């Protein structure tokens, strides 16, 4: 699965951060209580058997997730509008920010992704980005830089990929921790939401719902440490995390939108460095085209 949209490269010098670069996330030290619990282990999902009459109405988060996955797999592909933002803030300093906007075309059989976007920093530096996932490998090109490629298991590749269909598959592993809410006219539509707060960074690494947030946090943390921030992993805290899936009941509970947001607090000089990220994907409808890798991407 991927990481969203922006990144802020941070340098800390006497307490003065400045941005530039690409998305990542971070944390804050406060928050002592583990509020809403984020997902324990994998959860099996079942599909209604064919030829056995109407499928029973889903009731649990796992059942709604399974139906959403079926609905998304029923079409050749989908187009998504992606938007993301990241902010790094040190007390007494102006925030360093970056935003990301992109269009993603995602086919289902075979599974492939084309993501065409633009990163904009708080210094008004703009950098186009192309991302492809073809044959299980990721390919990323930022501006005039050369293509980089690697498996999706490589965090450096995964943090550039934003694939709501793959994320929905992964959500099945912790859907049982989601709260089910009725939305829309007459409460027909469904919202699934997972929230968490108060986890230390080491504890968050073991939570299925938080693995993506931690993965995207790690590069920023490495940059902060290179710049002189010495906070231990155990002192870094997840201040907040929310993941929301909106599903359309009239179309088999297919995905309408997906949003996740998180904030980590990193102790520094008696205060905290706050790193926050928010990403949203909106379903813009069925995609019937093909996704093919550019000729120069594999070189």
pLDDT of amino acid 122 = 82
- Minimal CA–CA distance to 241: which of 200, 194, 294? 194
Q: How many CB atoms lie within 10 A of CB 288?
A: 11
CA dihedral 181, 186, 189, 190 (to 10 degrees): 10
- Minimal CA–CA distance to 190: which of 255, 278, 242, 243? 255
Tokens representing residue 201 in the block: 């960074």
CA distance 3 to 212: 7
Q: How many CB atoms lie within 10 A of CB 142?
A: 17
Please say if the pLDDT value at position 118 is more than 60. yes
CATH class of 61-286: mainly beta
Instruction: Collect all residues with Cβ–Cβ distance below 8 Å to 88 and sequence separation of at least 6.
Output: 8, 10, 17, 19, 26, 95, 96, 97, 220, 273, 274, 275
Q: Is the peptide bond before 279 cis (omega within 30 degrees of 0)?
A: no
pTM for this predicted structure? 0.82
pLDDT of amino acid 31 = 35
Encode pLDDT of 210-252 as tens digits.
999 999 999 999 999 999 999 999 999 999 999 999 999 999 9
Higher pLDDT, 200 or 6: 200
pLDDT of amino acid 53 = 61
β-pair partners for 271: 268
CA distance 124 to 66: 42
Domain ranges of the chain: 61-286
CA distance 203 to 198: 10
């Amino acid at each position: 699965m991927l990481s969203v949209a922006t990144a802020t490269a941070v340098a800390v010098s006497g307490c003065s951060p400045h941005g530039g670069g690409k998305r990542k996330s971070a944390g804050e030290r406060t928050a002592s209580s583990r509020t809403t619990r984020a997902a324990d282990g994998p959860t099996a999902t079942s599909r209604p058997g064919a030829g056995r009459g109407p499928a029973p109405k889903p009731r649990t988060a796992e059942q709604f997730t399974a139906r959403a996955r079926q609905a998304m797999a029923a079409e050749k592909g989908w187009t998504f509008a992606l938007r993301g933002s990241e902010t790094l803030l040190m007390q007494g300093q102006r925030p360093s920010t970056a935003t990301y906007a992109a269009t993603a075309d995602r086919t289902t059989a075979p599974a492939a992704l084309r993501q065409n976007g633009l990163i904009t920093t708080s210094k008004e530096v703009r950098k186009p980005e192309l991302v492809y996932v073809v044959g299980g490998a990721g390919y990323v090109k930022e501006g005039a830089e050369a293509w980089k490629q690697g498996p999706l298991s490589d965090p450096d590749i995964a943090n550039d990929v934003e694939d709501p269909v793959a994320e929905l598959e992964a959500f099945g592993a912790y859907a049982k921790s989601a709260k089910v809410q009725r939305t829309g006219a007459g409460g027909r539509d469904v919202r699934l939401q997972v929230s968490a707060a108060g986890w230390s960074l080491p504890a968050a690494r073991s939570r299925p719902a938080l693995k993506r947030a931690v993965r995207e946090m790690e590069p920023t943390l490495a940059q902060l440490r290179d710049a002189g921030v010495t906070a231990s992993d155990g002192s870094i805290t997840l201040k907040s995390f929310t993941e929301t899936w909106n599903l359309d009941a009239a179309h088999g509970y297919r995905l309408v939108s997906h949003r996740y947001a998180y904030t980590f607090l990193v102790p520094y000089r008696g205060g905290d460095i706050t790193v926050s990220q928010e990403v949203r994907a909106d379903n813009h409808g069925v995609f019937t085209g093909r996704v093919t890798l550019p000729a120069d991407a594999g070189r």
